[in-house]
Structure 1
Amino acid sequence: MTRDPLLRALRLLELNPRRVLAAVAAGVATLGSALALAALSAWLITRAWQMPPVLDLSVAVVAVRALGISRGLFRYLERLATHDAALRGTVAARAGIYRRLAAGDPAAVAGLRRGDLLARTGADVDALGDVVVRALIPMAVSVVLAVAAVVGLALISPAAALVLAIALAVSGVLAPMLSARAARMAEADGALASARFAETAVLALDHAAELRVAGRLDETVLRARGWDGEVVRATDRAATPSAFAGAATPLAIGASVLGSLLIGITLYGTEGGSPGAMTPMSLAILVLVPLASFEATSALPAAAVALTRARLAAVRILDLLDRSGENAGPAGGVELSAPVHLRAESVRCGWPTAERMRGSETAPLDLDLPPGARVAIVGPSGAGKTTLLMTLAGLLAPRGGTVTVNGDAVGRIDPVSLRREVGFFAEDAHLFDTSLLENLRVARGDLDEAAALAALTAVGLGTWVEELPDGVHTTLAAGGRSVSGGQRRRLLLARALVSPASVLLLDEPTEHLDAEDGDAILRALLDRGGTLVGPGRSVVVVTHQLPSESGADRVFEVGVGGSATPGGRDRIETEPGVVETKQ
């Protein structure tokens, strides 16, 4: 197994060799047409200067026209083939990464800030795709064209061919090395700053209201500006080698043309086109061909930059995949099947770091969820309710206790099977910039229009959907920002209802709804005879406040810092910080 992170990451693209070779062939044809056009044009101009019969020039004239047309045609085909291979590769890479993350240890993702995760699955994968367009294919084309130009020029003058080879090495080797150095300097110094900027900016955008209430919004914005300034400074430091890289190719072109001209003049001699000496047509070709041959190598500095950035992106992507695989459940482990019986014993709520900051620990919780169970978990923000749901879903390792499903520990269950049967639906889940139907299909890919409309109607969005121009096919142009807070929560609840999961773990499903509607939905979710959730599916609802007569089998009240939260009901205090309430 190769240790080069870039080569390992490129395997994620699943590149089709035929498509890559087709793109290289189209690129060679494109620049080959330009090279042949330069040589033939030079011959035609100088030959026409000798005023031969017109018929002697007819083949060359037609060939010049054909090469001019073919250059544009092959350029178009090369763009199509190159971008087709690259885009297919990025789609395959993202799909592969998502599959690996879904089958791996979700704690690796849960420990990352959203901005960093977005950068790794977004910009970093795009950097891998750029390798195809900006590096692999241009490098292959440049090698073929450079060899062809040197060999072609050697047929006229080996000395001129040697000069061209040296100049091409400067343009195709030295300039890319300088560009790669500049990119490494910029990326090495700026990669961390860029990631931190993304993290801080996303934090400020997503939680501006909370940060303003806490008095930390200005501090967060200033921190984001500081990281952005560090990215700019890193770019400035890399400007010097980048400037030398940019000057290398023009200097190589000038040296090659001047050298070829001097060699051609020397060979031309005082006798003009005498036998064995340089002819006017050969002299023109000797001067003009180097100009065209550098078109291939001019793309190599950008290729070196793309390779450098892709290598750094590959390290970040592989780090994410390796981390998610460290504690992953066994591939092909225990398969789950309905009915699903989930049990948690001595599981604690909350993050350990938060508990250390408070100087206290939450009490352990025992939870039994047979098929069809209805359980509510009530408590203030920061009590660890969401963390508890993530633990039950297998997204976080249980702390000091065990979580079993149908008698098997979560760690022994096939991760994909676990995600299919035990679904965690977060309060801040993402709404995508696509149709309502496709947003619901995130949870169930085979969902049809009628089932989607039924789910939306069940959560109270039926009238709203009917008023939309395209019904369930209406596009949310700005994702979650296209709807109100209440509509967003109802959409996320509908997504949970259409999912195939046997156990629904719902985090604050009625937040931002008015009290009457929110209480009605909570009662419908927690009532075994309700219409929202079938009798064979289990439901765990996290909420700040539970309505009276909810119908829940069990209610757990959790508090911050080991204190129980008063609920005004008949409570049995089992442990400090966790109160089980009988309905």
Structure 2
Amino acid sequence: MRRDLLRVLGLWRGQAGWLLAGILVAAGSALLGVALLALAGQGVAAALGGSALAGGIAVLLLRLLILLRPAARWAERMVTHAATFRALADTRIWFFRRLAERLPAGIGLGRSGDLLGRLVADVDALDGLYLRSLVPALAALAVVAGGAALLAGAPLLAAAFALPLGLALALPFLLAPGAARAAGEAARAQGRLRAAAIDPLLGAEDVLAANGEAAAATRLSEAGERLAAAQRGLGWRSAIAGAAGGLLVQAALLGALAWGLASGEGGAALAVLGLFLAVAAAETLGLLPRAGIALASAAAGARRLFELADAAPPVAEPARPAPEPEGYAIRIEGLDFAWDPARGPVFQGLDLDLPEGTRLALLGPSGIGKSSLVALLLKLAAPQAGRITLGGTDIADLPAEFVRRRIACLTQDARLFDDSIAANLRLAAPAAPDAALWRALDRAGIGELVRALPEGLATGCGEGGARFSGGQARRIALARVLLSAAPVLVLDEPTAGLDAETERAFLETLEAVTAGRTVILVTHRLTGAERPTRILRLVGGRALPAAG
């Protein structure tokens, strides 16, 4: 638990200034509350002692603090929340990058709902580390220390004030390790609930077609009950911490009162001050009962994130990358590859030579290994034997980012995201100006249609490109690939799902716009519109010349 939380703080070091500022503002706000009640206590003590001057000064200062305290509380909320949002944004970006490196080989998650829960809910739970644990704890520590300093003239009173409040401050953190297991179960239960809710919605047509609504509802109900049970376990721990903290605050009040009674009239002023300080501390310590649970929940969320983030990437980056080659000829030599040894090899001794400018059609039925070859070329998977060279250099010795700048891919399920056309295109070239986007759209044969749209490049594509027909969406995806300067284009079943007329028109466009580049067309059949310079067929893990 502690190691995971320290690692989270390490991820947040880029926001150290904001995080420290939030703690200081929170501590200052809490100390203003102490000062406010301390002055009130002094005013009461002065009134009891008959000192009008001291009472008047206390009242004047009280007016000033009454104006400052709301401003300090506002500043505390603004700065601590800004620090939290910045830290969580950094965490999401870090986690997304780590996840993106590990997705190609699969991350062992068949349930997108659980993955969504890790990316959203588990990251959100990390705010408990800072906003609901560190900030209130350090603010409360400042209050206890400040109060003890004000009462330092009476050591017994200071001890009666500080000892129970110090224990109340430490109590949530002492209980946090015991709550870690319950928090972990709650986090897992929340992931199962998200999966049970989201997965049937993603496959709604299949669920409805199989009359599976009742079964899906049952699974959702069971997941909800497990989450509720886990949350009840956390709830009673939080209640125990809150009750114990309340008793310790009352102990501080009774201690100050007992000291005052024992000291007689001579100690009345300090006793009143001690009582008011205990009341001030109670306000700050009241935020702490949930701190231990928040800390345990943050640790559970961190553990789930690190489980995925620490998985080995499918293809390791070279420790010392080779110099980037200028050429882009591709050679595959003696390549053996299997996704899973238990399922048998995909390739055995595959050899393939693609000089610059080659236009290759690679044929084969579904499951023969065409998409596996694409994954190997893009360094989304690594062969068990043999090698692939790009410009004469083994791609194992080249950074994946460089390989993917030289080899671009248009897949059969190329996705348009729920964003503007411009944003979808700029995935390939983030700094591309509008003029470059229009050129790519024109070359893909979709420019006129986009110009006719009221919002042009700002037109939203809808989820999965739902705003456009299949052929239109594929052309926008093609424009995205063409926006890349990659000299090698891999087209993996680019016309899957298109009708015959749209398919032929799309292939004719491909033929025109890919001139001068190496093109690898991966398909299960040819239509006659492709005009490749070489045709090979994948058979038994090898590439053989296709029969006339």
Q: Name the TM tier (shorter chain).
A: 0.7 to 0.9
**C-alpha separation between the residues in 2 aligned to 1:449 and 1:91?**
29
Task: Quickly say closer, same or farther: Cα 1:362–1:405, change in 2 above 3 A.
Answer: closer
Q: Partner residue of 1:334?
A: 322
Matches of 1:56 and 1:165 in 2, distance apart? Answer: 26
| Farther-moved stretch of structure 1 (238-247 vs 484-493) | 484-493
Q: Aligned pair 1:150/2:148, yes or no?
A: yes
Native 8 Å contact 1:435 1:473 kept in 2: yes
After superposition, the C-alpha distances for 1:388-446 in whole angstroms (9 at most, x for unaligned) are: 32122111122554333223333222233223323345555665454332232222221
The answer to whether residue 532 in structure 2 is matched with residue 552 in structure 1 is yes
Change (3 A) 1:445 1:578: same
Deviates more, 1:318-327 or 1:284-293: 318-327
2:459 aligned with 1:480 = no
1:343-396 Cα distance to aligned partner (Å, 9 max, x none): 33455787437946xxx9677654433333333445555554433321221111
Partner-residue secondary structure (3-state), 2:520:
strand
Query: In the alignment, is residue 581 of structure 1 matched against residue 527 of structure 2?
Result: no
- Structure 1 residues 546 and 305, CA gap change in structure 2 (3 angstroms): farther
Give the structure-1-normalised TM-score: 0.79
Contact 2:144 2:281 in 1 (8 A): yes
In 2, distance between residues paired with 1:144 and 1:118?
Answer: 39
Provide the residue aligned with 1:163 in structure 2: 160
Among 312, 317, 321, the alignment partner of 1:324 is: 312
Local SS of the residue matching 2:311: helix
Instruction: Report the Cα offset of residue 87 of structure 1.
Output: 3.3
Cα distance, 1:174 vs structure 2: 1.8
The whole-number CA distance in structure 2 between the counterparts of 1:215 and 1:378 is: 39
User: For structure 1, which segment, 214-223 or 431-440, has the greater mean C-alpha deviation from structure 2 after superposition?
Assistant: 214-223
Aligned match of 2:23:
24
Per-residue deviation at 1:222?
A: 5.4
Matches within 5 A, 1:33-182: 33-45=32-44, 47=46, 57-97=55-95, 107=104, 109=106, 111-113=108-110, 114-115=112-113, 117-128=115-126, 130-155=128-153, 157-182=154-179
Question: Does 1:390 pair with 2:354?
Answer: no
Amino acid across the alignment from 2:408: G
Gaps of 5+ in 2: none
Partners of 2:349 and 2:541 within 8 A in 1: no
Note if contact 1:31-1:145 (Cα within 8 Å) is conserved in structure 2.
Answer: yes
For residue 490 of structure 2, give the secondary structure of its aligned residue in structure 1.
strand
Contact 2:189–2:230 (8 Å) recurs in 1: no
Once the 2 structures are TM-superposed, how far is the Cα of residue 143 of structure 1 from its aligned partner? Answer: 2.0
- Matched ranges for 1:183-222 at <5 A: 184-198=180-194, 202-209=198-205
Counterpart residue number, 1:564: none
Deviations 1:464-506 (A, max 9, x none): 5335453323455x64375346254444333222234333334
- Report how far residue 301 of structure 1 moved: 4.0
Q: Secondary structure at the match of 1:249?
A: helix
**1:107 to partner: Cα distance:** 4.9
Does 26-35 or 253-262 show the bigger shift? 253-262
Q: In 2 relative to 1, CA 277–105 (structure 1 residues): closer, same or farther, beyond 3 Å?
A: closer
| Structure 1 contact 179–302 (Cα < 8 Å) conserved | no
The 8 Å contact of residues 178 and 242 in structure 1, kept in 2 or not, is answered as no
**CA deviation digits over 1:514-543, x for unaligned, max 9?**
432232223332x2xx12x3513x333444
Deviation of 1:108 after TM superposition, in Å, equals 5.4
Q: Secondary structure at the match of 1:171?
A: helix
For the residue of structure 2 that corresponds to 1:343, the secondary structure is strand
Query: Is there any run of 5+ residues in structure 1 with no aligned partner, and where?
Result: 559-573
Deviations 1:201-220 (A, max 9, x none): 55444444467678888767
Offset of 1:148 from its aligned partner? 1.0
Report the count of equivalent residues. Answer: 546
CA distance in 2: counterparts of 1:410 and 1:338, whole angstroms: 13
CA distance in 1 between partners of 2:74 and 2:316 (Å): 45
Relative to structure 1, is the Cα distance of residues 552 and 354 closer, same or farther in structure 2, using a 3 angstrom cutoff? farther
Which runs of structure 2 are paired with 1:349-368 in the superposition (5 Å)? 351-352=339-340, 355=343, 365-368=350-353
Q: How do residues 426-575 of structure 1 correspond to structure 2 at under 5 angstroms? A: 426-428=411-413, 431-475=416-460, 479-480=463-464, 483-484=467-468, 486=470, 487-525=472-510, 527=511, 530-531=512-513, 533-536=514-517, 538-543=518-523, 546-556=526-536, 575=540
RMSD over aligned CA atoms reads 3.8
Shift of the 144–101 alpha-carbon distance from structure 1 to 2, 3 Å rule, reads same
1: CA distance between counterparts of 2:43 and 2:414? Answer: 67
CA distance in 2, matches of 1:78, 1:342: 59
Give 2:291's match in structure 1, choosing from 281, 288, 303: 303
The superposition leaves residues 312-369 of structure 1 with CA deviations (integer Å, 9 ceiling, x where unpaired) of 343344443443358512144124344322233455787437946xxx9677654433
Contact 1:181–1:241, Cα closer than 8 Å, also in 2: no
